[in-house]
Structure 1
C-alpha cells in the first residue's frame, strides 16, 4: 500500500473493493471527508489499497465495557460501534462515551431486572434495577431515558426463576415503546425466550442453552418481526466452562431462525467482569462470533451483514453500517477476502473511526 501528498481532513482510498452488503464492488475510490464519506477526492491524501477489501466499520451488538482499554481493543479489531448492554456502575460508562477516534458507544444504561435473578447479586445494582411490580415500569423507563439510555435492557428468566414477572415485563415494554425506545431482552433459556416473545421484546439476545428453540417460537420471531442476537461465542464459552452439552442446540436454533428470515445480529457479549462464567475478549470475540454464525449456516455475506447493515438498521443507526456518501466514515481495510474465508475479517491493516485513523 502506498501513500502520497498528505492533506488535512481528507483521505482518498484508491483501488479498494467495497463490501456493499452482498458482494464486492470493482476497485474504486472511497473518500474520507472529515467524519463522513465524501465524493470529492480533490486535495486529499491518497492511499493506494492495491485491490484490498474495505468493510464498513463492524458493529458488536452486545458488549459490556470496562476501562478505556476495552475501547482500544474494540477499535483495533475493527469494531467501530459497540452496543453496550450494561456497564456498571454508570459512571464507568459515562467516562467511555463520546471519545473521537475510537469505538462509538450506544448503551442501555442500567438494566431492569427481577428480585431473584443473578444480576440482582451485582453489588449496588439491585437498588437501582429491580422492578417490584408493573406500577414501577413507567418511572423506571423514564429514569433511563433521562439518563441517556439508547434502548432498554430487560433481564428475563424463565417463569419462577427470579426475573421480572410477565405483567411487570409487559409494562416495561409498553413504557419503552411509548418513548420510542427498543426493548432488548436477555433470554438464555427456553422459558425466558418464550416470555420475551409474550411480552413484546423487539430484540432477543442469547439463545437457549437448555434446548433448541421450538418451531412455534421461531415462527413467532419471524411473523412478529423480532430480531435475534444469539451471542454464540458466549453460549459456547459457558457450555465449555460449565460442562454443558447444549451448544449444538444453540447452533441449530440460529440456523432455524436464519432460515425463517429472522434478522440475526452479531453480538459477542464481550466482558471482563469477575464471576461471569466466560469472558469473551473485546474485539477478537466479534470475529469469533462471525465464524460461529457461518458454522451455524449463514453465508459469509450474511455474517458480515450481521455486523454491519443489520445492527445499524435494527438499533436505529442510519448513519453507519454501509459505505456510501454522507455515511459516517467508519471503515476497516483488510488484506484478505472474508467472502471467501470469514476468518479474513481478522486480517486488518487499517481502521477509521468517524474518519479518524485508529493507531
Structure 2
C-alpha cells in the first residue's frame, strides 16, 4: 500500500469504496494536488522578492562542513556489528565522520584533540533506515483534506525539498531513507543536494518514478497524470527496456527500480497489472544495469507474477494477498531466494480493521518463522503515517508480530543496509559511516524505547 492507498475521498460513494478496498476515492483532494502542484510551477511562488530570502533561510541546510577531527562517544551500551551485540561501557571513536575504533572505556585514552561526549546510561545504535517513503507527499492525518488555501504552502514545501520531512526524519533517528515513487527530476535533485551538503537530512536512495500501467495504481487509484515524472507506462517490452536504460544511465542514475504489479480488489476497483512480457523486460534490463527491482503487490496472482519475473524485493503485506495463509510453494520460494519483504504494517494499521490487521501480522509471523527475510519501511507519508514516527511504529509492530525487538531493530539497520547493497552504513563497525542514534532507554528490552531519542549523528555531525 503506497502513499496513495489510504487517502480519503470527497464523496459518499468514494468513502464507501475506500472502506471496502483501502483505496482512495477518485475525487480525493490529494489527487488534485498531484495534478496541479508541479515543483516547477511551485517555484513561481518565489517570484516575490521577499520570498527568495525566506526560501533560502528555511531550506533546512544548517550543515556548513563535513565532520573533521576526532570525536569519542563514551560510557554507552553500544549495539555493535551487524548483529547489534550489546557491549556495556564502550567507547566509539569517530574520525572525520567514520568509525575508527570501538573499545572498552578503560582501554581508551583520548588524545588532546579529541572531543569527548559522555553517553553513560544511554544506548548507542546505528541510525535507522526507512526503506519505503514518499518524500513528495504532504503529511496528513486520516480524513484530513487539502483545500485550496493549503496548496500554496504544500507546493512551497516541495519547492524547498520538504524541510519539515527531512527534519522530522533526523529527529526520530532516521539517517537513511529509500524513496519509492516520486517525481524523477525533483527527487534526483534532492538526492544530489543532500549528498553535496546543500541540504541537511538523511541519506537518500531512490527509484525515481515507478513502473505501472495506464489503468494501474497509482494512475487509476489516485489520479497521477500518465505523463508525469512520477510514473513510467511502457506499452511494449522495448519501451520498458528503453525507460529503464534512461533511468539507469547518465550522471545521476536511480538506485533501484520499482514496479507496481497489482490487480486491485475485484469487489470495488479492478486494476491492470503490468503485462508479463513487459514486467520481465523491466526486470531483465534493470539487472543488466546492476539495479535491483522491488515490487508493490496486493494479491497471490500479483506475487506469482512478480516472483516469476525475477524481482528482488517485495513491498507491503495486505490481507487479500495472504488472507487464507501462504501458498506453500510461494512461501518456499521467498525463503529460498532470500527475498526481502517490507510489510509496511504501520500503513495497514490505519487502513483496515483490527481483525484484518491481526491476520496480516499472523501471516508475517509465519513468514518470519519459516526463515523469511523481513525489513522495515513505513510508507510515510500515507495519512496517519508520519515521517520518522511512522518507522518507530513499524518497529513496534514488527517486534509484536513475531520478530521481537532484536530482529525488528536489525530490520531497520543492518538488514536494511543489505537491501541497499551497502556496507557503509547500518552497523557500528570500524570503517563504517558514523550514522548513530543515542537513546535514553534500551530498545532490546522494550522496543518502544526507540522513541527516546537523545542525540543523532550523521557522518559524525551531531544533527539532533
TM-score, with structure 2 as normaliser: 0.71
Q: CA-to-partner distance for each residue in 1:208-230, whole Å, 9 max, x for gaps?
A: 33124323221110112211111
CA contact (8 A) 2:392 2:450 kept: yes
- Partners of 1:89 and 1:139 lie apart in 2 by 16
Partner of 1:141: 244
| Matching of residue 115 in structure 1 with residue 225 in structure 2 | no
Which sits farther off after the overlay, 15-24 or 47-56? 15-24
- Partners of 1:192 and 1:130 lie apart in 2 by 18
Structure 2 gaps, min length 5: 1-66, 102-108, 137-161, 265-269
- Partners of 2:185 and 2:362 lie apart in 1 by 36
The match for 2:347 among 234, 241, 249 is 234
The structure-2 alpha-carbon separation of the partners of 1:157 and 1:238, relative to structure 1 and needing over 3 Å to count, comes to same
C-alpha deviation, 1:124, in angstroms: 5.2
Partner of 1:299: 404
The structure-2 alpha-carbon separation of the partners of 1:22 and 1:83, relative to structure 1 and needing over 3 Å to count, comes to same
Partner of 2:371: 261
Structure 1 gaps, min length 5: 1-6, 273-277
Secondary structure of the residue that 1:295 maps to in structure 2? helix
The match for 1:87 among 172, 182, 191 is 182
Secondary structure of the residue that 2:352 maps to in structure 1? helix
Aligned residues: 345
How well do the aligned residues superpose, as a CA RMSD in angstroms? 2.1
The structure-2 alpha-carbon separation of the partners of 1:124 and 1:130, relative to structure 1 and needing over 3 Å to count, comes to closer
Partner of 1:64: 134
- Partners of 1:283 and 1:305 lie apart in 2 by 17
Secondary structure of the residue that 1:17 maps to in structure 2? strand
The structure-2 alpha-carbon separation of the partners of 1:311 and 1:33, relative to structure 1 and needing over 3 Å to count, comes to same
CA contact (8 A) 1:332 1:348 kept: yes
- Partners of 2:189 and 2:68 lie apart in 1 by 30
Partner of 1:286: 391
- Partners of 1:224 and 1:49 lie apart in 2 by 41
- Partners of 2:275 and 2:435 lie apart in 1 by 40
| Matching of residue 154 in structure 1 with residue 259 in structure 2 | yes
Partner of 1:74: 169
**1:308-319 → structure 2 map (5 Å cutoff):** 308-319=413-424
C-alpha deviation, 1:107, in angstroms: 0.2
Which sits farther off after the overlay, 117-126 or 285-294? 117-126
C-alpha deviation, 1:58, in angstroms: 0.4
Secondary structure of the residue that 1:184 maps to in structure 2? strand
The structure-2 alpha-carbon separation of the partners of 1:134 and 1:279, relative to structure 1 and needing over 3 Å to count, comes to farther
C-alpha deviation, 1:8, in angstroms: 5.9
CA contact (8 A) 2:75 2:90 kept: yes
- Partners of 1:13 and 1:153 lie apart in 2 by 39
Secondary structure of the residue that 1:149 maps to in structure 2? coil
Partner of 1:11: 71
C-alpha deviation, 1:158, in angstroms: 3.1
Largest Rg, 1 or 2: 2
CA contact (8 A) 2:341 2:373 kept: yes
| Matching of residue 52 in structure 1 with residue 122 in structure 2 | yes
Provide runs of 4+ in structure 1 moved above 3 Å: 124-128
The structure-2 alpha-carbon separation of the partners of 1:52 and 1:238, relative to structure 1 and needing over 3 Å to count, comes to same
C-alpha deviation, 1:161, in angstroms: 2.7
The structure where helix makes up a greater share of residues is 2
**1:173-188 → structure 2 map (5 Å cutoff):** 173-188=283-298
The match for 2:312 among 178, 202, 205 is 202
The structure-2 alpha-carbon separation of the partners of 1:223 and 1:79, relative to structure 1 and needing over 3 Å to count, comes to same
- Partners of 2:248 and 2:355 lie apart in 1 by 40
- Partners of 1:166 and 1:126 lie apart in 2 by 24
Partner of 2:85: 23
The structure-2 alpha-carbon separation of the partners of 1:124 and 1:69, relative to structure 1 and needing over 3 Å to count, comes to farther
Secondary structure of the residue that 1:65 maps to in structure 2? coil
The structure-2 alpha-carbon separation of the partners of 1:236 and 1:125, relative to structure 1 and needing over 3 Å to count, comes to farther
Secondary structure of the residue that 2:305 maps to in structure 1? helix
C-alpha deviation, 1:264, in angstroms: 0.5
C-alpha deviation, 1:23, in angstroms: 3.2
C-alpha deviation, 1:198, in angstroms: 1.7
| Matching of residue 38 in structure 1 with residue 140 in structure 2 | no
C-alpha deviation, 1:145, in angstroms: 0.9
C-alpha deviation, 1:46, in angstroms: 0.6
Which sits farther off after the overlay, 229-238 or 322-331? 229-238
